[in-house]
Structure 1
């Protein structure tokens, strides 16, 4: 057999996925011709496919030692370095390859390295050049579309992903990325269709089905809803693939199923499996603990509305408070307030992973607190490299992340009772009152509209359900419609998240025998005006199993009572904890029947509703839920305990934060 024939045989084995056979033939060739560069290169690729990264890198480097101008080997070694957490090294290799030959694949490779290093302008230039070099290739358009979506240029991103899908209709990733861009642009039904197409093309990517379900939930399109929920549960229970963790919170799954979903999602799609862990240097002696908060929500956002005062109230004699922001700067008053609230505010939107790790180390962060979890713009991939000695998750995501490098989750006796530890990879930190911080500077001075201005009846009961649309389930909506049927003239006031959802909910109401006109939709308004609207509603109806968070505390702050149903998961217990901390635990129910009957009883009893409203208004500044200073002291106690456990050399362990005596929170 000639060299060409043997090499052809090895290559055919490699292309067919027979990596063991490819390795064997390559080694036989090299036994006869030890430094044959093409064979060394192919052997490196085969070893990489077999999972032997070190040996693969060695063979690629040997191929380059023999033939330094081997552009393909430079490119493939660059991809290996990129995939294994060394984008700076990859950038050098891709640059050398492109100096030898300018081709679209090489431009995409270098663009990917530049993007990982935070050089978005350079990446955009490389992707654009790749499109010019390969106008009929889908990857350049898809890569550029993904970058532009991350930069907020959603319209251009949609066009580019559509182009990629037209060029390669069978490319599942193009349809996935088109779905992401459409969802970002608010075209949710179209996004669901794109995700469905991606899933059909590659059924192994089960997370695409989750994205499709989540998009349909956001527009309240419940066609095939039960079947999609059953399939999600079957995927989790049978270990058949990945489910979107955020999506599991809004369908009726158990805490154990949510844990399995989050753990697998973390292992396969979040954790930089090939990236070397970052080991922060030991913290030197200092007088103050350094707390770093990671979030994309340091702007006009629900999380900021809750937490702004926390950052301001931290005891600066004992703590340094740092922000690491990877979200937009909207130039808003809230953004300016937050920048002032921190000792140092770092905008890391365009920083690569290595730069973020170095920055956290330079700052000497002791405890890193993620405020996002699996919500929009999550960056748990950063924390997966262990950037700080202690890492915790708090506030943004009501469930376990499944990430082993997150040591703690901050909860309370409702959302994370100690007996729920088995459902979390993180250790439970149980706060004494409520896990949710609240900003006492929430505005109360918005102009209260008339019911007529809001399209509401003057002399009928107004049920209010302002939770976002993906939290509305068919079963809970059915209860709401039964309440309208049992109370003639009453209306349901909903938040108008998107026009598609409004149309679908009106159709669902009609299908249940309710006049669609009895559903009234509230458009988005500035926070003071939005909060003022709660004053003209009679009773809040909570969603389930993903209960109200900021929405519920907003209502309670203004004085509107909310009926909730408490379940067995973190997300299904949040509103119950808030109601307890607000001093109205009688509004918590534990079954759908009890929920419906309590809502009806209060709807028929104006005196009881008014008494609840008066109690909420009169105790607003004294109940634990809105005692921001007391909460901050409790959280600081939690941080102190985390750090004491760490410095003792013991592994993280769950603990209860001891409550301060009433009035003892300076």
Structure 2
């Protein structure tokens, strides 16, 4: 029986449906709307309300169809455009979403509201349209100069456009306007660190730590790794972030069923093949890809099938082409929403999903908010806990995730035998070495190298480096180029500490082979702290360059120490800044010791566990098998140590 026949008119029925919707009776509301449309298929009000209601109930395809029908029936209905833009954005169809959002703004009667303008700015930013983003966000701030979200989104746009000083100022304004949005503090501190502006460093660190300790708001997890925070504080920040940011990013689901993989192949000695899916935005020219490419190639195809789900750019590079060839199936999931990805993985029969991204830039929160495979693993991209119940395991080792750190992880710790970090033995090794002058280096003198990202440099670390330069006459410090403002800031900081700013040399970005060749011009690598080097340290060791590091208490503060041990050079791991400084100065005066270390590292390329990729792959496969066997037996995830081969 049609629900609409109980009403005098479709308009009366629509009024009743709207009341149902407002009272949270969404299923009944949808039934009334469908009844109206059965009688009057061109009723744009019913199709619009049904689109909104279907979205609320998790019926995404139905919602999209209804909203599109509404726009076809009434092209000037701004609210329909806004709602469909929201849906398409969350499904990853950004270009269409931005076009609809702009159309809605043109259609809206009267003065524009800042909210939809801010959303359009965010969409354009995500599309990489820097100039358009700036113009739209300037309009948003003009409309609502006291709107904290307008300033925060403006900060994002300025950051993505490389205007880091202006971004930090925008984030600071956002926080002053709305102190409850504590994530703006983290944004401000990260932007300041990214261009080496430490003028408010101590105060911002204290505020961010106070936010974590009090539980009064969000601290961005990645930022907590960069400052002097404890494992417990990083855990609290990640858990809060997951509850407040990641979970709400999920599309509503009609049903929250746990994916069930098909049974494995016929019984055999190894129990059949496991399908492992790797999820990342970094399957292109990126540090994660540089480390892991050979892993995907070396998986034992008799025992494992490997699938890639990529939501990052296709840069057309040789690295991308190599990665596409490395997997049994490579899926570009840009434009797919979480439910479509979940369906894809179910069709692939994925037993284990490995997230290679974590809380790093361009992560898709909608994919981290739900379970996409029966067993889920965090690996490589993010050195810390995700604070999430949907991640069952995190891959570590005895250095980065010692067993006594388990209380600070929601995930169960998997302790690899040598190092958690995989390495690619096909890294370029023999590119021509540039001359010193071409790199801006003096013709002679000791070269300290610190190629870690500029945002990893803290004031205390830089002060240590300047003391080392002062104690090693004629030496220079070779840094990654932090942009014009960042370089000027570092030069000023050097002068303030009594060091000639000309003793700082900045390395521009270069393709991987050219970049690695530059390591051969350096004499000693000085690591960052508390966020120690990952790929940069492995690169240095691969190229035969000794590294001085300090080991700390958190995952990120312990990575380089673990890499040095796995490479066979534990002597250069220190436990304090005093020890770090003393060792750097001593080695600068002992060329014979450094030469011996170089010879040891050259031999390590063929012998050290850090660079034994086949051995690492077999260990990781053992870990995957253990995880799956527990799941198949109906047992919950449990921490374990992978036995060495």
TM-score, L = length of structure 2: 0.91
The answer (yes or no) to whether the contact 1:278–1:385 under 8 Å persists in 2 is no
Distance 1:618 1:532 in 2: 18
Cα offset for 1:154?
2.5
Cα offset for 1:529?
1.2
The answer (yes or no) to whether the contact 2:251–2:338 under 8 Å persists in 1 is no
Cα 1:201–1:41 change in 2 (3 A) is: farther
Give the alignment's Cα RMSD to 1 decimal. 2.2
The answer (yes or no) to whether the contact 1:41–1:59 under 8 Å persists in 2 is no
Per-residue CA shift, 1:425-450, capped at 9, x if unaligned? Answer: 10000000000000000001111122
The answer (yes or no) to whether the contact 1:176–1:194 under 8 Å persists in 2 is yes
Q: Which of 305, 312, 318 in structure 1 is aligned with 2:290?
A: 305
| 1:625 to 2:599 alignment | no
Distance 1:60 1:170 in 2: 38
- Give the equivalent residue in structure 2 for 1:105: 79
- Give the equivalent residue in structure 2 for 1:116: 90
Per-residue CA shift, 1:244-293, capped at 9, x if unaligned? Answer: 00000000000100000001101110124673335323422323100000
Distance 1:66 1:340 in 2: 51
Distance 1:202 1:78 in 2: 33
SS in 2 for 1:271: helix
TM-score, L = length of structure 1: 0.89
Distance 1:154 1:214 in 2: 20
- Give the equivalent residue in structure 1 for 2:561: 576
SS in 1 for 2:606: coil
| 1:264 to 2:237 alignment | no
| 1:288 to 2:267 alignment | no
Range moving further from structure 2, 72-81 or 436-445: 72-81
- Give the equivalent residue in structure 2 for 1:275: 252
The answer (yes or no) to whether the contact 1:278–1:357 under 8 Å persists in 2 is no
- Give the equivalent residue in structure 1 for 2:8: none
- Equivalent residue runs for 1:373-522 within 5 Å: 373-522=358-507
- Give the equivalent residue in structure 1 for 2:145: 169
SS in 1 for 2:636: coil
Structure 2 unaligned regions, length at least 5: 1-11, 266-271
- Give the equivalent residue in structure 2 for 1:148: 124
Distance 1:413 1:103 in 2: 59
Cα offset for 1:181?
2.0
- Give the equivalent residue in structure 2 for 1:89: 62
Q: Which of 41, 57, 74 in structure 1 is aligned with 2:26?
A: 57
The answer (yes or no) to whether the contact 2:544–2:599 under 8 Å persists in 1 is yes
Per-residue CA shift, 1:2-56, capped at 9, x if unaligned? Answer: xxxxxxxxxxxxxxxxxxxxxxxxxxxxxxxxx89658746743x5xxxxxxx34
Cα offset for 1:97?
4.5
Cα 1:73–1:461 change in 2 (3 A) is: farther
- Give the equivalent residue in structure 2 for 1:331: 316
Cα 1:602–1:106 change in 2 (3 A) is: same
Distance 1:653 1:370 in 2: 18
Cα 1:278–1:329 change in 2 (3 A) is: farther
The answer (yes or no) to whether the contact 2:264–2:273 under 8 Å persists in 1 is no
- Equivalent residue runs for 1:301-380 within 5 Å: 301-380=286-365
Cα 1:155–1:412 change in 2 (3 A) is: same
The answer (yes or no) to whether the contact 2:397–2:416 under 8 Å persists in 1 is yes
Distance 1:133 1:532 in 2: 56
Distance 1:81 1:175 in 2: 33
Distance 1:83 1:179 in 2: 31
The answer (yes or no) to whether the contact 1:71–1:101 under 8 Å persists in 2 is no
Q: Which of 91, 95, 105 in structure 2 is aligned with 1:131?
A: 105
- Equivalent residue runs for 1:239-258 within 5 Å: 239-258=215-234
- Equivalent residue runs for 1:143-222 within 5 Å: 143-222=119-198
- Give the equivalent residue in structure 2 for 1:544: 529
Cα 1:101–1:335 change in 2 (3 A) is: closer
Per-residue CA shift, 1:601-632, capped at 9, x if unaligned? Answer: 11111111111111111221110000011000
Distance 2:545 2:491 in 1: 25
Cα 1:164–1:67 change in 2 (3 A) is: farther
Cα offset for 1:160?
1.8
Cα offset for 1:182?
1.9
Cα offset for 1:58?
4.8
SS in 1 for 2:605: coil
Per-residue CA shift, 1:448-474, capped at 9, x if unaligned? Answer: 122222222233211110000110000
SS in 2 for 1:570: coil
Distance 1:625 1:346 in 2: 30
The answer (yes or no) to whether the contact 2:604–2:611 under 8 Å persists in 1 is no
Distance 1:74 1:181 in 2: 36
Distance 1:188 1:421 in 2: 37
Distance 1:327 1:66 in 2: 42
Aligned length: 618
- Give the equivalent residue in structure 1 for 2:6: none
Structure 1 unaligned regions, length at least 5: 1-34, 48-54, 661-666
- Give the equivalent residue in structure 1 for 2:509: 524
Cα offset for 1:525?
1.0
SS in 2 for 1:619: helix
Distance 1:192 1:82 in 2: 36
The answer (yes or no) to whether the contact 1:87–1:116 under 8 Å persists in 2 is no
SS in 2 for 1:284: coil
Distance 1:70 1:256 in 2: 56
Distance 1:81 1:573 in 2: 48
The answer (yes or no) to whether the contact 1:37–1:63 under 8 Å persists in 2 is yes
Per-residue CA shift, 1:387-410, capped at 9, x if unaligned? Answer: 100000100000001111000000
The answer (yes or no) to whether the contact 1:117–1:354 under 8 Å persists in 2 is no
Cα offset for 1:155?
2.5
The answer (yes or no) to whether the contact 2:90–2:251 under 8 Å persists in 1 is no
